[in-house]
Amino acid sequence: MAGKKKQRLFVIFAGPKQPAGPGTRYIANDRSTTTIRSKAARFWTYWDAQAFAEVNQIALNALTYIDREDFTDCETQG
């Protein structure tokens, strides 16, 4: 089986910085927090993530921050 191609996208994390894994919290498209990666709001650029945060009045700070996360092609499609 061929390796899955990965894409690095920006997400908004909701919690202390830690290695991605169980318990990692993300901001979803509906502004809620989720531990389900597939429900995390994903952005192609840092600026898109920042604009989403501003429009939705999400305060970015040490606990709610923008960073990159790897997603497979399957995860990024529909």
Q: Check: CB of residue 26 under 8 Å from CB of residue 39.
A: yes
39-75 pLDDT, tens digit each: 999 999 999 999 999 999 999 999 999 999 988 877 6
Strands annotated E in the chain: 6-14, 26-27, 33-34, 64-72
Query: CA-to-CA distance for 1 and 32, rounded, in angstroms?
Result: 36
Q: How many CB atoms lie within 10 A of CB 56?
A: 13
Residue 28: C-alpha distances to residues 4, 34, 73 (Å):
24, 6, 19
3-48 pLDDT, tens digit each: 577 889 999 999 888 766 678 999 999 999 999 988 999 999 999 9
pLDDT given for residue 3 in this prediction = 56
**Amino acid identity, position 9:** L
Band of pLDDT at residue 2, cut at 50, 70 and 90 = low
